[in-house]
Structure 1
Amino acid sequence: MELWRLVQTWLWILLSGHSVMTSLSPMENVTRLLNQLLTNYHKEVRPGFGGDPLRIETDILVRSMGPVLETEMSYSMQCYLRQRWHDERLKFNLENITKVTLSTAFLKYIWKPNTYFLNGRRSTQHNITTPNVFVRISADGSIYMSRRITIRASCPMKLMNYPMDRPVCPLIIGGYGYTTKDVMYIWKVSSGPSPVEVYNDLTMSQFDMDFIQSMNFTQSSHMGEFSILAVDFHLERHLGFFILQTYLPCTLIVCLSWVSFWINRDAAPARVLLGKLRPHHYNGIVY
């Protein structure tokens, strides 16, 4: 008899909870859902801890690129870094709701990959007028996160053939602290043929984007093996830019210096004026 009363009590609780959820507005349902999901949620523990490595699917959309500085062996670009992973603890079941878009404050309470750029120098995330981060969770526990960031990374160049060379600027992405036993980074192809896409209107003053090559591999250290994503931006210099900025001015200056051979040696004022127009070199700088 007592067992039957206990069953009746549990049924009443379930039915009353269901009636409350169905009577609430969609916004109130989502609020109640998030509170339930974050109860007993430990963001310090990665999803699927103790099981297979967590897959972090990554792709990049490049919005703009430049400048590329030979003096510092570096380059800058603005892009959208987009990542996807699966967290069973965030699964939910709401009627007519399969995906929920959330604010950036939600990221403070859940686990997220600690992605960083191995060859980065001074990278920043855009926060004007609000943090440029997009977060969305699905009913099956899938999480999609997109960040708008400006990356400044090192770009080793071989300038022996400058300006006829073709620089290759790499971007190396990895996880800080998680080995391949816990996290695996994987390139994800979204819409185009490559996981790294660029806007059609992307232009640079001195370079053309020749092609983009992406790869993933593992890197060993004394801490273990780490999953690495890499992308190489193959650039080609604008010869027209260097013809107008370097070759043509130098050619005109050399031709101007030859005029002194046709000036009468008795015309001292003309020679003095032409000598003042000639470039003077000091420590590699033209004055």
Structure 2
Amino acid sequence: WTDFFTQQLRWSRGTYETIIGQFWKGFGTMPPGKLFNYTMMIIFYPMSAMNWILAALSCALFLGMGASGVQIDPTIWMMLYGNASALQIGLYIWNRRHNVSPHEPEGSGGLAGMVMSALSAPIYARSLMDAVLRRKSSFVVTPKGDSSSPDTLFGTFRIHLFFIVVFGASMISSFFLGHSHPAMVTWATLALLITAAPIIGWRYTIRAEKKKRRSGGGSHRNGEPAPEPRPLPGAPGNDQTMQIVRIALGGRKK
């Protein structure tokens, strides 16, 4: 997870720097069609980051402080939201016909990639804030093999923990301050689960590996020593980044 998040942080920051420093040059050098296609590609990271930041901000304002927006009839809201969702899903399915990624099997729906992008949304948000505040960043090659970085709760997932505190504190305070609303609590709960999912998956993997090591100890029936157990996630020798990316892209280990 550490190397994967570092990679996503670097890629998103590079996109932000491209938008800030180079994107405007394309208006005079690229045809309208190519410019539109290029724009649609590079706005993925900033749109994901803005969605996540606004989600956290809206939860804090509504659930924590009691602020509310425009009052809309629930039926009209559901109609508009349903139409927008159906259009988005339909457009995605239609555009998947043109997918030419060599990393995905033919006919893949791209669901795994979308899940990994959602889990990385807090990273995109942090990267956007760094770009806006003009904090310095350095190029770091993604470690592989024996040089892979270990995963730690307060090192690897510190950004996720921050958003867990934001969503969790907003929900808890809403019940004490009388600002709770079923719809907002539901959205905050979903955001909280998405934020905590990498941590839960990381802990589950560690426990599974420890259990496998304990059950695989000792010797074989023929007296030969048991094979060396696989290293824990994040330990030296475990290329966890490539495993995560391979799963996200829908590929299979060869």
TM-score, scaled to structure 1: 0.21
Report 1 or 2 for greater relative contact order, CA contacts < 8 Å, sequence distance ≥ 6.
Answer: 2
Q: Which has the larger radius of gyration?
A: 1
Higher strand share: 1
TM-score, scaled to structure 2: 0.23
Higher helix share: 2
